[in-house]
Amino acid sequence: MAYRIHIVDDSPSDTEYLLGLTEDFSKKRGLDFDIRHHSSAESFLFCYEEDKTCDLLLLDIEMPGMDGVTLAKHIRSKNEKISIVFITGYSDYIGEGYDVSALHYLMKPVSKEKFEQVLDRALSRRQMEDRTVIFKANSETVCISLSCICYFESFRNYVNAVTEDGKIYTIRGTLSSYEDQVDSRFMRVGRSYLVNLTKLRRISKTEMTFPNGSVLPVPRGYYGTINQAIIKKL
């Protein structure tokens, strides 16, 4: 199945430029892309309601009617897997990325080199969606996609794997044993947590919030380190 990309931008010239960059990238990599474009958030939503196939959303922020941030929040509330890339001429919106787990922000005018790097990351993220972790919990073997796990939490001789839908799997073992099984999305935070950075919805100097409503404490001295790790992924 083709990798489907939706471009949402009210500027015809910007849309044409992004189309050209995306088509050049697909030819260079020998990939099958299904590229669709929309002049407004409302136009995209009309098509999306008919066919929800979308792997990557290239989204302008400043648009008449519904803006890109509002559209991203609407889509993210229904779909956790779509990669969202904001494309904007303003840096004021970067903080909004926490709410929708934006893959990246591209500043206009978009650099071809930077654009291709972001597409490579989006494709890698798609491949990572298929990665799983296997463990024994409650006398049965469980296989869970890493993309569904918000964090691992250790206590005594056990580890809780907590998913985005609020399920908790209790596993006998140590947190360190699972560090070797996860990928770069996960970060060790203090002695007790292994956190999926792509699942963070908000972070303050004292708390991390996840889409399932879980709130974890931020250990002293980790706020800056976590933010730096997130920025590197944006």
Give pLDDT tens digits for 47-83.
999 999 999 999 999 999 999 999 999 998 888 789 9
3-state DSSP assignment of residue 175: helix
Which pLDDT score is estimated for 1? 61
Which pLDDT score is estimated for 92? 66
The predicted model scores a pTM of: 0.62
What is the average pLDDT across 88-111? 76
pLDDT, averaged across the chain: 89
**Regarding the domain delimited by 132-233, which CATH topology (the fold level of the hierarchy) does it fall under?**
OB fold (Dihydrolipoamide Acetyltransferase, E2P) (2.40.50)
Q: Are 5 and 36 in contact (CB under 8 A)?
A: yes
Hey, what's the torsion of the CAs at 81, 87, 93, 97, to 10 degrees?
20
Q: Rounded to a whole number, what is the distance in angstroms from the first to the last CA of the chain?
A: 27
Cα separation values, 194 from 20, 177, 182, 198, 213, Å: 40, 11, 9, 12, 17
Which pLDDT score is estimated for 206? 95
For residues 64 and 73, give the distance between their C-alpha atoms in angstroms, rounded to a whole number: 17
Select the more confidently predicted residue: 73 or 89.
73
For the chain, give every domain's residue range.
3-128, 132-233
Which of the four pLDDT bands, split at 50, 70 and 90, describes residue 196? very high
DSSP string computed for 13-80: HHHHHHHHHHHHHHHHHT--EEEEEESSHHHHHHHHHH----SEEEEESS-SSS-HHHHHHHHHTT-S
51 Cβ contact partners less than 8 Å away, ≥ 6 residues apart: none
3-state DSSP assignment of residue 93: coil
Which pLDDT score is estimated for 93? 57
Q: Does domain 3-128 have CATH number 3.40.50.2300?
A: yes
pLDDT digits (tens, 9 = 90+) for 138-195: 778 888 888 889 999 998 889 999 998 889 999 888 899 888 888 888 999 999 999 9
Residues in the chain: 234
